[in-house]
Amino acid sequence: MKILLVGGGGREHALAWKLAQDRRRPELFCAPGNAGTAELGVNVPIPAEDIDGVVAWARREKPDLTVIGPEAPLCAGLADRLHAEGFRAFGPCRAAAQLEGSKVFAKSVLQAAGVPTAQSETFTNAEKALAYVRAAKSPLVVKADGLASGKGVLICANTREAEDAVATAMIHQSFGKAGRQILVEEFLEGEEVSILALVDGRQAVLLPSAQDHKRALDGDLGLNTGGMGAYSPAPMETAAFRKMVLDTIFNPTLKELRRRDITYQGVLYAGLMMTAAGPKVLEFNCRFGDPETQVILPRLKGDLIPAMEACITGNLLPEHAACRPEACVCVVMTAGGYPGAYRKGDAIAGLKEAAALSETMVFHAGTKLAGKQIVTAGGRVLGVTALGRTLCETAGKAYQAVARITFQDAHYRRDIAAKGIKRNRG
Ligand code: AMP
Ligand code: GLY
């Protein structure tokens, strides 16, 4: 079996790692991949956003399955293009991917479906948006409608910051086309949790829950990042919580999409805020999370290919998402300075020593091969991941592995999973 995996981050290395263990032992190709995926298959030098390039490769090489990792190719219609040529692809079509590609679309679906979410107003006119934020109560959240590489959400403590945020998006057009429309949203308070589900067009089956750590520094301080680490299960996860999330969030959302004649197939990721009034949807993503995937896939009991095929054919079963009882923790090591400017091309040492520890996986993100040496090639460099009995023990194992890895100016948070450990003790 031949599989093409589109993307080149930590998520894709984790996907490649899980796919490579499948009993069908697939032949893996990764576009463009990283130094980690190169150990499991063949990297193909096609950027994930180059849809024409990916389709041309598929025509030539005829993969049995294409797994699309990142949001950009999904929102640009890569799954539609592959389907049109008769190829099987895991990931939603363009219309369904709008749940991530347009926050205005996602909000209209949430509102129509009666799913709990922050109150919000949509604006296409800067003057009207400015008048609104001047009259509204702070704090406010200003969101660019379209994809903005995770930078399009601005949390505004006061009116002045909200005015600046509107100007950033609509007048200075700092997010390009993505900021032509904005949402101004009520600020929600609480703890965040990522709930991902496999979806087969009709129904959703929840994967293990996870909690990400968005800020760059310990104690949730510093700038927002793509994610500095994750752990699974999230502390609020109980059977009752999972049922409530399925009944009040996923099922009504899918029903509303069906009403609009949109079929969702792939992973649907709901970013939730646990407010005093219950969980509310902050955002949808149309794909696996990064670094959530690095802690979800090691906990998945069965093979991934049958689960993905079941999503495509509409035959998803709860067993496809069955999970192991162990906890999983991923500590992201970044280049110093990330998410600001950072160095690239520094040699990474200790990768083998770290991976040799029991139940430890070192997932690569921004890495590449320079001759025989693995070097840094991005902001998030590695996701050092361990599986273990308790969250506390597992975090200890992940940090032991982190201690064996060195590269110039490496940075990581020291408190990944600390909230969950505290909650379990308390
Ligand atoms: P996103 O880029 O859509 O993932 O949003 C980034 C982050 O912004 C989320 O993970 C939350 O931490 C925060 N956020 C988004 N919307 C709200 C909101 N209405 N209230 C509070 N925080 C929010
Ligand atoms: N970890 C957040 C995301 O994947 O968007």
The ligand placed nearest to the CA atom of residue 151 is 1
- Pocket residues: Cβ below 6 A from ligand 2: 212, 227, 285, 289-290, 292
Domain boundary among 180, 203, 218: 180
> In this structure, are 281 and 326 located in the same domain?
yes
For residue 92, what are its two tokens? 């939603």
β-strand partners of 236: none
Expressed as residue numbers, the domain containing 333 is: 191-425
Is 107 within a domain? Answer: no
What total number of domains does the chain contain? 3
Q: Choose the residue to mutate in 100, 285, 294 for probing ligand 2, maximizing ligand atoms within 8 Å of C-beta.
A: 285
Please state, in angstroms and rounded to a whole number, the distance separating the CA atoms of residues 305 and 154.
Answer: 38
293 Cα–ligand 2 center, Å: 9
Does one domain contain both 221 and 331? yes
Domain identity same for 393 and 414:
yes
Distance 207 CA to ligand 2 centre (A): 15
The ligand placed nearest to the CA atom of residue 193 is 1
Is residue 34 within 8 Å of 9, Cβ to Cβ? yes
Of 12, 209, 269, the residue with max ligand 2 atoms within 8 A of its CB, to mutate for a pocket test, comes to 269
Element (H, E) at 417: none
Assess whether 131 and 77 both reside in one domain. Answer: no
3-state secondary structure 269-303: EEEEEEECCEEEEEEEECCCCCCHHHHHHHHECCC
**Residue 308 backbone class (left: φ over 0; alpha: ψ -120 to 50; beta: rest):** alpha
- Same-domain status, 237 and 350: yes
Cβ contact 110:281 at 8 Å: yes
> What parts of the chain have a pLDDT lower than 50?
none
Same-domain pairing of 261 and 355:
yes
Q: Which atom of ligand 1 is nearest to 189's Cα?
A: 21
Q: Is the CB of 283 under 6 A from ligand 1?
A: yes
350 and 399 inside one domain: yes
- Looking at residue 274, its pLDDT comes to 96
Q: Report the distance separating Cα 306 and Cα 289, nearest Å.
A: 20
Domain presence at residue 362 = yes
Going by alpha carbons, the residue nearest to atom 5 of ligand 2 is: 289
Assign residue 274 the CATH number of its domain.
3.30.470.20
What is the residue with the minimal CA distance to atom 4 of ligand 2? 289
Q: Is 359 in the pocket of ligand 1 (CB under 6 A)?
A: no
Protein residue with least CA distance to atom 16, ligand 1:
282
Residue 74 forms part of a structural domain = yes
Same domain? 153 vs 254: no
Tell me, yes or no, whether 106 lies in a domain: no
CA 330 to centroid of ligand 2, rounded, Å: 13
Ligand 2: nearest atom to the Cα of 11: 4
Choose the residue to mutate in 117, 133, 137, 153 for probing ligand 1, maximizing ligand atoms within 8 Å of C-beta: 153
Predicted pLDDT at 151: 85
The ligand whose atoms approach the alpha carbon of 187 most closely is 1
Tens digits of residue pLDDT in 39-56: 999 999 999 999 999 999
Residue that terminates a domain, selected from 155, 180, 205: 180
Whether residues 200 and 80 fall in one domain: no
- Asked whether residue 315 falls in the same domain as residue 370, the answer is yes
CB 116 less than 6 A from any atom of ligand 1: no
Tell me if 32 is assigned to some domain: yes
Kindly give the number of the ligand 1 atom that is closest to the alpha carbon of 282. Answer: 16
Report the candidate in 307, 404, 374 with the shortest Cα–Cα distance to residue 23. Answer: 307
What CATH number has the domain bearing residue 171?
A: 3.30.1490.20
Tokens representing residue 68 in the block: 């699309």
Q: Are residues 382 and 353 in the same domain?
A: yes
Distance CA 152, CA 208 (A): 27
Residue 247, domain member (yes or no): yes
Count Cβ atoms below 10 Å from residue 356 Cβ, excluding itself. 11
pLDDT the model gives residue 125: 95
Q: Which residue in 180, 103, 101, 181 sits closest to 147, CA to CA? A: 101
pTM above 0.95, yes or no: yes
User: Ligand nearest 147 Cα, by number?
Assistant: 1
Q: Classify residue 110: in a domain, yes or no.
A: no
Residue 88 one-letter amino acid: R
Q: Which of 180, 201, 217 is the last residue of a domain?
A: 180
Say how far residue 128 (Cα) sits from the centre of its chain.
33
Residue 99 domain flag:
no
192 CB near ligand 1 (under 6 Å): yes
Q: Whose CA is nearest to atom 9 of ligand 1?
A: 282
Phi and psi angles of residue 113, each rounded to the nearest 5 degrees, phi first: -85, -5
169-206 tens-digit pLDDT:
999 999 999 999 999 999 999 999 999 999 999 999 99
| CATH number assigned to the domain comprising residue 84 | 3.40.50.20
Quick one: pLDDT at residue 426? 64
Do 176 and 199 lie in one domain? The reply is: no
